[in-house]
Amino acid sequence: MEGSWLTLILSMCLMTIILLLLVRRGKFLYTLRKVPYPPALPIIGNAYQLCCSPEEAFKKMIKWGQELGDIYLVWVGMRPFIFLYKAEAIQPLLSSSIHIDKSLEYKYLQPWLGSGLVTSTGEKWHFRRKLLTPTFHSGLLEVYLKTAIREAEVLISCLRKEIGKPAFDIVPYAKRATLDVICDSSMGCNVNAQTNFKNEYVQAINTLASISQRRFLNVWMSFDPIFKLTRWGQKYNHALGVTHEFVNRIIAERKAEWKAKKYRNCSEQSNKHQALLDLLLELSQDGKVLTDDDIRDEVNTFMFAGHDTTATSVSWILYALGRHPEYQEKVLNEYYEVTKTKQLTLDVLSKLTWLEACIKETWRVYPVAPLIARQIYHPITILGHDIPIGSTVLVNSFLLHRDPRYFPEPDTYKPERFLPNGPKYPPYAFIPFSAGSRNCIGSKYAIMIVKILSLFILKNFHVISLDTEDQLRFSSELVLHNANGLRLKITPRKQELDVIILHSMHSNKVKEKC
């Protein structure tokens, strides 16, 4: 009898739990009943429609946005992904100090980035953000400027071998250049990615970034037990080991140098904080505030968040200007008018209004981060819809930046929109660095790198883009790619031609002597 009663009680408890879960799920679904979505299957939702190439998935997201109105959702299994692309829709989300949690997919970055600024949340994120914000002051940007100029000169020398060729992809060149700039700025060391393609750390960074982005869209690779058994998982773990070992070694070396200088001469030490790592070591207070693992997380975050996004920016800017060469001349005419005999400084860069306008218009048409994702842990109302806890909300900046209310002829490249006397836009209509409390902490640093690399290439080469806009095949991972790369053709400008001739003459003289 006792066994029968126990079985009955356990059965009733189980049924109660199931009933409560069904009621909870019913309320969840009822709350979202008025948000439109494309036709979905039971259980798997729209997942079957997204089991395709990143290019096809991005096309579907854009198509659904154009067909379903100002807000729609996609069911991936039992999870709703809610897409927004109107300024008034994203404002309550991005302006909030509560809704700062990245989507669950960011867990794929944690083995690499740990609890750095990109992946952390809550009190830890608030503390780190406040701690790290002063590290991007203007004095330090002047130091980083010298690094960017040096690596831009290396980039020009690397690109000379592409002169006369019918086409080449600018993206790998831009990635290697930004990796060199940011590695020097963050760790104070040179990996020479532009000239040493086989550097193990450079290859590991590229592997981690590529595989992490694949996991964001591949349903099967999202499960750790399955992912670890794949060759992608094995490649990822090897690259992770290489990256952590390299950064740990650099931290140990710089820590020893930093301590030695501190005891020898405090004033000398304080004047030589030329890398982010030096500043983190000072902020760490010998491990009391930041541990070595914390420092490694922030350095890795800086490397990850910085090099791919800035490289993508530079690549799209050159593509856009290669399609609209008249703006190349406007940028250069203003540059020579402003600089004359002056050195290139942050102040000079700030006066190049045509360069900045071209960059901003490129970010509008080809946003570097086309999707910004937040996980909802507190209720929020958007466009009259109550978004329940457990939802994932995504801001589609590709569509946001094409809102004809603010950007007439939205598909047309018109940098005039962003000249100082151009129209003013609502705060959330244009968000190249996101917006609100979780905007990009290194935006000024990124803008500086993008301006320097773009400017140096335009000074030395006339750029022609070989693919028309309708030939582009957009692919959205963490950044906006073109599936075939960005094919350019370059010809030397007069001053670059003089350099090539002098170099050739020098080479011939050397041969004659030999």
Alpha-helical (H) ranges within 160-230 are: 170-187, 200-217, 224-229
CA quadruple 497, 501, 502, 504: dihedral sign: positive
Residues that constitute the known binding site for heme? 440
- pLDDT score at 490: 97
Nearest to 449 by CA among 439, 461, 440: 440
Element (H, E) at 397: helix 397-400
By the 8 A CB rule, do 184 and 304 touch?
no
**DSSP line for 329-371:** HHHHHHHHHHHTT----HHHHHT-HHHHHHHHHHHHHS-SS-E
Element (H, E) at 138: helix 138-159
- pLDDT score at 502: 45
Question: What token pair was written down for 89?
Answer: 């829709």
Could you please state the CATH topology (level 3) that the domain comprising 118-365+418-512 is classified under. Answer: Cytochrome p450 (1.10.630)
Question: 470-477 contacts: CB < 8 A, separation 24 or more?
Answer: 473/55, 474/55, 474/58, 474/59, 474/370, 474/398, 475/53, 475/54, 475/55, 475/58, 476/54, 476/57, 476/58, 476/61, 476/370, 476/371, 476/398, 477/54, 477/213, 477/214, 477/216, 477/217
Question: What token pair was written down for 512?
Answer: 């004659």
458 Cβ neighbours under 8 A, 6+ residues apart: 321, 328, 331, 332
Rounded CA gap, 509 and 514, in Å? Answer: 9
Say whether 472 sits in a helix, a strand or coil. Answer: coil
- pLDDT score at 288: 85
Element (H, E) at 78: none
Per-residue pLDDT of the chain (514 residues; tens, 9 = 90+): 555 767 777 777 878 777 777 767 677 777 888 899 998 888 888 888 887 788 888 899 999 999 998 999 998 888 899 999 999 999 999 999 899 999 888 888 899 999 888 888 888 888 888 888 877 766 678 888 999 999 999 999 999 999 999 999 999 999 999 999 998 888 888 888 898 877 888 888 888 888 887 777 666 677 788 888 889 899 999 999 999 999 999 888 888 887 776 666 554 444 444 678 888 888 888 778 889 899 899 998 888 888 889 999 999 999 999 999 999 999 999 999 998 767 888 999 999 999 999 999 999 999 999 999 999 999 999 999 999 999 999 999 999 999 999 999 999 999 999 999 989 999 899 999 999 988 988 899 999 999 999 999 999 999 999 999 999 999 887 889 998 899 999 999 976 554 444 444 444 543 443 3
Residues that constitute the known binding site? 440
Specify the residue for token string 């170099």: 503
- Whole-model pTM: value is 0.88
